[in-house]
Amino acid sequence: MSQAPAALGIVPVSFADACDFVRAWHRHHRPPIGYKFCIGLAAGAELAGVAIVGRPVARHLADGYTLEVTRTAVADDVPNGNSMLYGSCWRAARALGYRRLITYTQDGESGASLRGAGWRVVGQRRPRPGWDTPARPRRLSGTENVQRTLWEA
């Protein structure tokens, strides 16, 4: 007889452990630099996913009442894990007094996990060539020239 899969549950996770998980599982981004809070998703005793929430990357959205889910990463064999994390992030942000939670998907990503968590599309962002300038040098991240969709909880 095969064993039933372990039940998924929301658990606390440190920023360091969340960053390690993102390094191991995220398809195209490195871990973010900062954060406000992190949420873990466990399958039994194993960490199966993480979400990292921080201040909005876009300065004009940093109004003190808005946060951004800057990274989520979920192991490949965890169905609906991202939806669980996105829903938990919004509940946590509201409990902390925030009024808005946003995130972005890249062109080619369906957004199914966001729709499953009740999020909605609020805008499209044109592709950018990157953030490198002579006054503020930046490394290429591999996500330049990609259109993004802005979502809100």
Name all domains of the chain by residue range, CATH numbers in brackets: 8-152 (3.40.630.30)
- Please give the residue that has the higher pLDDT: either 7 or 130: 7
> For residue 66, what are its two tokens?
């808005």
**pLDDT band, residue 114 (cuts 50/70/90):** very high
The answer to whether 53 touches 32, Cβ cutoff 8 Å, is no
What gap in Å lies between CA 73 and CA 26, rounded to an integer? 5
The answer to whether 105 touches 141, Cβ cutoff 8 Å, is no
The pTM of this model reads 0.88
The answer to whether 144 touches 130, Cβ cutoff 8 Å, is yes
The answer to whether 78 touches 39, Cβ cutoff 8 Å, is no
Residue 127 has pLDDT above 90, yes or no: no
Return the DSSP state at 44. T
